[in-house]
Amino acid sequence: MLIWGNKTLFKTLSEGVFHCPRCGVARAYRQRLARRWFTLFFIPVFPYRTDDSHVECTTCKGTFHDAVLQPSATA
């Protein structure tokens, strides 16, 4: 019996503080990159797809586009 599938693993690219749109205040964030891996017997063997990176608020766990890290033009 051969068991195969896929799994998404995340790599942290950077960390810092940003203004979270959901929380409405400054919060810590992680910029993360998602990669899909082919698995064999639940062990990741090789990556076959890389998705776009996103920003995750470490407090509310909300995910946002990388554009939230850009300085606001209205300031």
Interval 4-21 mean pLDDT: 93
Question: What is the per-residue pLDDT for 42?
Answer: 87
Question: What is the per-residue pLDDT for 17?
Answer: 94
3-class DSSP state for residue 28? strand
pLDDT digits (tens, 9 = 90+) for 21-55: 999 999 999 999 999 999 998 899 999 999 889 99
Beta strand segments in 20-66, E: 26-40, 43-57, 63-64
Percent of the chain whose predicted confidence (pLDDT) is above 90: 73
Q: Whose CA is closest to 29, among 19, 38, 16, 39?
A: 16
75/71 Cα distance (integer angstroms): 8
Contact 35, 49 (CB under 8 A): yes
| pTM: predicted TM-score of the whole model, two decimal places | 0.74
